Amino acid sequence: MSFLERLLGVKSTISARDVDPDALTVLHRLQSRGFTAYLVGGGVRDLLLGRTPKDFDVATDARPNQIKKLFRNAFIIGRRFRLALIRFGEKQIETATFRRDPGADDDAAAAAPPPDPDREGGLYQESDNVFGTPEEDALRRDFTVNALFWDPATGEVIDYAGGLKDLRRKVLRCIGDPDVRFREDPVRMLRAIRLGSRLGFSIHPDSLAAIRRYGSEIAAASKPRLFEEILRLFTFAKSREAFGRLHETGLMREVLPALDAYVERTGRGKSPLWAYLSALDEVAPDLDTEHRESPRYVQENALRLATLLAPLLRERLRAPGAPSARDAASELVRDVVVVPYLTGGWRVPRALCYDLERILASLADYPKRDLRRRGTFSQPWFFTALTLWGIAADAERDRAAAPALENWRSQFNAWADGPHPPRRGSYVPTDPDKAGARGFPGDVPEDRDSLFPGDRLRGRPRDEKAEDATGEPGAAEGEPRKRRRRRRGGRRHHRRGNGAGEAPVS
């Protein structure tokens, strides 16, 4: 790395050694078959910044069916625009065909009514994308720093939108006219907040002005997408920065009005909310959010929402004539989380809301030492609640809570390290590409914490020895198979007669 690269913190080239080997396999195979294929998106951006990408995406001129023929481990997904997921064990490489925004001569655009720019949400993009060239694919993306391509054959970084210049300047700039692009897809406003907070970039003045001007049109976006993007603001331990920008731009007033009103009446920049989010950012990197069978597993989404709502709950419980902690938590979850994002086909999952209510209500109980710990410890939400107690104590600088917290932690650790039955249930994720399943593709489902409303917990698996070759439960090997008797219900089956209308035999 040259002196200038070290000074700016941005590389000018990418080494193949830094790229995932499976992504290189996909790129080389596509190029060896005569197709154009590039590494694209956030992976290129992060490699140039010297960061470790969370995933690698590939764009190519090969059509989805052609990709599937080249890779036996490829699966086609998507309804609006089909793409291929090439799986390598638990990892998957998203491989999409170059596309462009539909024009007036495209069938999809011609069939749709022309947008009305004067109507609220009138530029919201609903038509499907169509196949295009690499340059068209780059220019349809949201921000210039996400429109960088890397060619493994030449090692060259291809820049169609000026992303390299913005990387060096640490500026997040919208591609095209921000007034139009943010109205086409209002969720881009939240992505700008999240990406700017994660990278430490400033938002370009033109893009920032467009967010403040058209923030109210975010109501035209899909409610599940909005809720998903709000939860993503917590990622990479940057929630304090992200929600601070959300409030400064006025978007918090549109997506979380109750939270925005709380910040306004509690001192804006001095609001207790910021101390809660800062405390969450400090502990987030050390939390176990992957091993669901562990007693120290943290329900990530529940903890995020609980941290966001905890200062509001504290305020409600201090008011005269306040309800019980459980009732106040239930009302808060309903008013802030459930009702604003309720649609005809989706709602925030009930299991997540139930655990969130219990976690919030526990804030009023943890100083006590006379609770039945063994029954409480086995609850799937308890360790998440214990984590929230520590966050609340740090945010409020409550030194008096330290002895109670230490007592709870020592008791829980003794229980967790001792013999106890594992939690039951294996997770069955919903396929988000089926019409009946309304989930978020690309999210990793979490136990009781998933945003997939169709997910279910399945009980303990059957004993394999007691299943026959067809997979049906039967006798173990060497034992005679028992015949199943069909059980009949209903009143008429308990009567025995010789025919219709005859009296039952006594």
The torsion angle over the Cα atoms of residues 72, 77, 82 and 88, rounded to 10 degrees, is -40
Which has the closest alpha carbon to 58: 89, 10, 19? 19
Token readout for 462 is 């059957």
Token readout for 267 is 């001192």
Cβ-proximal residues to 35 (8 Å cutoff; 6+ apart), any chain: 60, 61, 62, 66
Cβ-proximal residues to 296 (8 Å cutoff; 6+ apart), any chain: 288, 383, 416
Q: DSSP string spanning 294-357?
A: STTB--HHHHHHHHHHHHHHHHHHHSTT---HHHHHHHHHIIIIIGGG--SS----HHHHHHHH
Which has the closest alpha carbon to 390: 370, 408, 375, 369? 408
Q: Of residues 61, 137, 142, 449, which has the active-site annotation?
A: 142
Unique residue bearing structure tokens 């520590």: 390
Which has the closest alpha carbon to 422: 290, 289, 292? 292
Q: Which contiguous run of DSSP H or E holds residue 68? A: helix 64-70
Instruction: Say which DSSP state 451 is in.
Output: S
Q: How many CA atoms lie within 13 A of 44 on its CB side?
A: 27
Which residues on adjacent β-strands are paired with residue 40? 57, 149
Of how many residues is the chain composed?
506
Q: Of residues 46, 57, 137, 281, which has the active-site annotation?
A: 57
Q: Please say if 55 is a catalytic residue.
A: yes
Q: Which contiguous run of DSSP H or E holds residue 88? A: strand 83-88
Ramachandran area for residue 45 (φ above 0: left; ψ -120 to 50: alpha; else beta): alpha
Q: Of residues 20, 55, 179, 443, which has the active-site annotation?
A: 55
Tell me how far the alpha carbon of residue 257 is from its chain's centroid.
21
Token readout for 101 is 């925004």
Ramachandran area for residue 322 (φ above 0: left; ψ -120 to 50: alpha; else beta): beta
Q: Please say if 286 is a catalytic residue.
A: no
Q: Please say if 394 is a catalytic residue.
A: no
Separation between Cα atoms, residue 385 and residue 397, nearest integer Å:
18
Separation between Cα atoms, residue 237 and residue 493, nearest integer Å:
64
Cβ-proximal residues to 63 (8 Å cutoff; 6+ apart), any chain: 97, 131
Catalytic residues: 55, 57, 142
